[in-house]
Amino acid sequence: MYAAIVVLTAMGLSLGFVLGLAARLFRVEADPVAEKIEALMPGSQCGQCGYPGCKPAAEALARGEASVTLCPPGGRALAEELAQLLGVQADLSGVKDAVPMLARVDEDLCIGCLKCLRACPTDAVIGAAKQIHCVLPEACSGCGKCVDVCPTECMQMLPIEPTVRTWRWPKPVLAAA
């Protein structure tokens, strides 16, 4: 039994080492701008921009083929950051000032069909067949994919509720001068 463990471990380690060397040796220089853009993106690969994932979207942005307002989950904040990075003037009028939204399950309507569970790119939905599902707010990226697949419209995008940890005093409203 020990021989099996040792052999498999040794094979895994040595193959990993060889692959690591090969990765160094055959490194392809990616576009540094595209890499920076990709680091800013939400990274949930939701595909709402029309590109297959965040990386292709970042590459299209770097080539100048896409608008900085392409990312709905990123909202206005991301659009501004991208415009600053790329040095372009962004037309932010069309962008909803998206409050960060999270998915939530309406427990009265959920039939436990598992469709949202499969659609979720961040595995934020938990539940089992014919059991009411629930969304983990820490894992939800707010991409809205689950809303599209939900057959009973029980999945809703709602603004994040303030918790004890995140609640802040509202900013003082200036009296009209």
Partner 1 sequence: MTTVTEYLLLLLGTALVNNVVLAKFLGLCPFMGVSNKLDTALGMGLATTFVLTLAAVASWLVERLLLQPLDIGFLRILAFILIIAAVVQFTEMVMRKTSPVLYQMLGIYLPLITTNCAVLGVALLNVQEQNGFIHSLFYGLGSALGFTLVMVIFAGLRERLALSAVPAMFAGAPIAFIVAGLLSLAFMGFAGLPTH
Q: Token pair of 89, please? A: 């003037």
Residue 88 found at the interface with partner 1 (CB under 8 A): no
Q: Which of 7, 39, 77, 126 binds partner 1 (CB under 8 A)?
A: 7
- Residues binding partner 1: what is the number (CB under 8 A)? 14
Residues 20-79 binding partner 1 (CB under 8 A) are 22-23, 26-28
The SS3 call for residue 112 is coil
Residue 13 found at the interface with partner 1 (CB under 8 A): no
Cα–Cα distances in angstroms (integers) from residue 104 to residues 16, 31, 89, 149, 174, in the given order: 42, 38, 35, 14, 35
Check the CA dihedral 103-106-110-112 and report its sign. positive
Q: Which of 13, 18, 39, 77 binds partner 1 (CB under 8 A)?
A: 18
* Nearest distance, CB of residue 28 and partner 1, angstroms: 5
Q: 3 or 175, CB closer to partner 1?
A: 3
The SS3 call for residue 2 is helix
User: Given the rule CB under 8 A, which residues bind partner 1?
Assistant: 3-4, 7-8, 11-12, 15, 18-19, 22-23, 26-28
